[in-house]
Amino acid sequence: MEPACTGRFRAIVATVVISSLSAIASPGAKAQEVEYPAGFDEEATYYPQALGPLTRPITTSSAEAQKFFDQGVQMMYAFTPLRAARSFRQAQREDPNCAMCFWGEAWAWGPYLNGGMGRDDAPRAYENIMKAKALAAEHANEVERALIEAMSVRYAMEHDSESRREMDEEYADAMAEVYQRFPYDVEVGTLYGESLMLLEPRRGRWDIEKPAVQKIHAILEATLAIDIKHPGACHLYVHATEPTVKPEKAEACADHLGASIPGASHIQHMPSHTYNRVGRWGDAVRANLDAWHSDLRAEHDIAWAIYPSHNLHMLLFAASMDGQGAVAIQAGRDYGKTVRSGNFYEAMTMLRFGRFEEILELDDPPVGVIQRGFWDFARGYAHLRDIDANRARFYLEKVKLAAQTASGSFRGHSAADLLGVVAGILEAEILRAEDENERAVEVLEAAIVIEDGLRYDEPEPLNFSARHWLGDLLLEMERYAEAEAVYEAALEDHPMNGWSLFGLEAALRAQDRMSEADEVNKLFEEAWARSDTWIKASIF
């Protein structure tokens, strides 16, 4: 997820004033005007090729309203709320008495896992939920009235960031009552689970023993037990399990998730959040290729591009771990075309796969301290492999200076941490070339301490681990048991990672533990089955 890069895009679109749907203060009050994005009053597009089978039958006399409502629900589960709001608005046009169509738009303007609620969103949400309430008595069934009533406590006409938490808690309490009444309704279960997740920290690891986390898991698991292919419940469950020590809990539903809304790139990508954590790198590559292809198909209005840069980041990360060099490098190039100054990932993927001459041919250094630091790291490393230690040291000093002085961050990670890790790798390799192996070990161990201290991220900013360098160095120093431990630790972080399996096998063979080495070799052959790269070590 990249809310910092993408978000809702609501704050940057021009707005126009559309008359409010009704008086929303008290009977006889003058109708207020609420601003909506430019073009919001135009007819919405229907995307039959993008949609999956999910439908939520609602109280309506119009098949067209039902169609656009279902599309809006799928868009919400795919985390594209502005599109969803447009679809719900189209459903209202098809049936002006459809209470749930107004409920849907109110839902779309509210907070969700990847974005909070802005000042302009509050009156939009409030206006729509008030209209839904006004229609509910005659145009909604029992569960619909319950959902509308619960949603009504979530919003106020004026945005107040200080009371947002309190209103989210009230909404979660209201949804608990709805869930108690309708525990076998998959939409109710999904929405209740989401309401609880919004009360938890969005970033960082989750403690699976925490009662609030266990409650979220239980609700989503009960919902998935009814429908394991439900895109909303599975999407949330992947996010609720990936930062825990049990990410594999979501594998069963993740295997269905990508196909559940086939034109929503974010949904296609989402299984990779689980696959990365459990070491299914090939499946993670496939998921993100599918997502990126939908991002491209969106240009032809047959799919929805949702967080394309994130899809490419996950793709290059998974392909780097899976040994798919061509895919990783191309994803790095595409990332650079999608994100300003993102071309550093082209250099980083080339480094991972030993394409040093190509790194030195790159001639468009990125802007940004961290981005430039990664670029300089890759160039310094490439010069070292080109037997130019002086140039390597020149770039090392640039990276170290940036690590010591820069105040910026990348995906929430400080320049000191990220550049500290890569500076350690480059410095250690320079020391190694000078036969200063003991010092190189110390430098790499310090880099690993920094790497281990990085907060949980999806994916990690570095498409390799400093442990790959330390393990290789320890093998050269004939410290085989220590190398074994380093590679085992790397596999705990990134299961079924071929680079680490290769190193582990070498460490075991060096200790004459051939039977164990043979078993690891089988795992390596499985892990490297899709690789286009022959390796003779865990690093180039």
CA atoms within 13 A of residue 159's CA, in its CB half-sphere: 15
Region 302-320: mean pLDDT is 98
Task: Give residue-wise pLDDT tens across range 17-73.
Answer: 334 444 443 333 345 689 999 999 899 999 999 999 999 999 999 999 999 999 999
Helix (H, G, I), strand (E, B) or coil at 35: strand
Distance in angstroms (rounded) separating the CA atoms of residues 513 and 17 = 74
Region 212-223: mean pLDDT is 99
Region 450-471: mean pLDDT is 97
pLDDT of residue 455: 94
Q: Where are the domains of the chain?
A: 315-527
pLDDT of residue 202: 86
pLDDT above 50: residue 16:
no
pLDDT of residue 162: 86
CATH 1.25.40.10 given to domain 315-527: yes
Q: Which amino acid does the sequence have at 366? A: P
pLDDT of residue 203: 85
* Cα 6 from chain centroid (whole Å): 12
Task: Give residue-wise pLDDT tens across range 404-447.
Answer: 999 889 999 999 999 999 999 999 999 999 999 999 999 999 99
pLDDT of residue 32: 65
* Cα 338 from chain centroid (whole Å): 16
Per-state percent for the chain, helix, strand, coil, to nearest 5: 65, 5, 35
pLDDT above 70: residue 486:
yes
The pLDDT-based confidence of 478 (bands split at 50, 70, 90) is very high
- What percent of the chain is predicted at pLDDT more than 90? 91
* pLDDT averaged over every residue in the chain: 94
CA atoms within 13 A of residue 128's CA, in its CB half-sphere: 27
Distance in angstroms (rounded) separating the CA atoms of residues 119 and 129 = 17
pLDDT above 90: residue 11:
no
Region 502-508: mean pLDDT is 99
pLDDT above 50: residue 8:
no
pLDDT above 60: residue 6:
no
Contact indicator for 392, 431 with CB cutoff of 8 Å = no
Contact indicator for 317, 460 with CB cutoff of 8 Å = yes
Task: Give residue-wise pLDDT tens across range 100-122.
Answer: 999 999 999 999 999 999 899 99
| DSSP letters spanning 175-194 | HHHHHHH-TT-HHHHHHHHH
Residue 153, classified by CB atoms within 10 Å of its CB into exposed (0-12), middle (13-18) or buried (19+), is: middle
Task: Give residue-wise pLDDT tens across range 257-288.
Answer: 999 999 999 999 999 999 999 999 999 999 99
Query: Per the structure block, which two tokens stand in for 408?
Result: 């910026």
Residue 408 to residues 177, 297, 399, 401, 417, Cα–Cα distance (Å): 45, 35, 14, 13, 11
